[in-house]
Amino acid sequence: MTMTEVMKTAAAGGRSRGPTAPVPGPEHPGDGTPTAAPAPAPAPGGRISVAVYAEDLILQTGMVHQLRLRPEIELIPEEEADRAQVSLVVVDMVNEPAVQLLHRLQRNTSTRTGLVVGFFETGALQTLIEYGVAAVLRRGEADQDRLVHLVTALAKGEGVLPGDLLGKLLSHVSSLHRTVLDPRGLSLSTLTAREAEMIRLVSEGYGTAEIAQKTSYSERTVKNVLHEVATRLELRNRAHAVGYAMRHGLI
């Protein structure tokens, strides 16, 4: 059964045995697919619990063989895959079946997802961001040590990207900021450009009337903006707002 067929079965609510099973073989029976679950308990002895998903049996077997040799890794049987700390997806490229799988894994908030991919198109970067993929490794570079490094980083809440993809990610964020956010007076932070400017002026000791004069807004607008920030971020007063913005590098 192809991964496309498995994904169609999953979308229909069914359960199917297929090559996306995390660990094949008689010692890892089961025919379920991972679903959202409570936060997993740590693996015995501090080992990292890993569920492997691959689009064909060859990729599956190779990945499992690499990880099974490492004592710090606990491979999770299919019927328990929802308790894995790390979900490792192995594909040739980020195609529609792979996207469906990533979307399904995203629903399980107790696991972090890494991707081992053969061919990576630049356009797939946005998809990975949207579906919460925190680490990427090219299959040609996926030796045992790099795989364990990726899994360990995911378990620690860290991210892993090849250097060229990191550069593309930064360029993508810059482009997003320039073409989408800036024209609307927004930013990637929790504050808009207008909110940050007003809080900066508060931090410099200006009152409402002075802020209104400097920003060319009415006093009522200044009060409303500062009140909205305080409410949204659950801040007690203007001093608290200034402290919050400074601690988070927003001003």
**CA geometry: angle 55, 58, 64, nearest 5 deg:** 90
pTM: 0.54
Residue 222 or 79, more confident: 222
Provide the pLDDT confidence category of residue 5 given band limits of 50, 70 and 90. Answer: very low
Provide the pLDDT confidence category of residue 144 given band limits of 50, 70 and 90. Answer: very high
**CA geometry: angle 37, 96, 38, nearest 5 deg:** 5
Please give the C-alpha separations between residue 124 and each of 110, 127, 157, 165, 247, in angstroms, as whole numbers. Answer: 24, 5, 22, 11, 34
- Rg of the chain over CA atoms, in angstroms? 23
Picking from 151, 79, 66, 61, the residue whose alpha carbon sits closest to that of residue 111 is: 151
At 166 the three-state DSSP class reads helix
Give the pLDDT of residue 240.
83
Query: What is the CB-side half-sphere exposure of residue 114 using CA atoms within 13 A?
Result: 32
Q: How far apart are CA 34 and CA 194, in angstroms?
A: 44
pLDDT of residue 97 exceeding 60: yes
Residue count (the chain): 251
Mean of pLDDT over the chain: 77
Give the pLDDT of residue 40.
47
Provide the pLDDT confidence category of residue 246 given band limits of 50, 70 and 90. Answer: confident
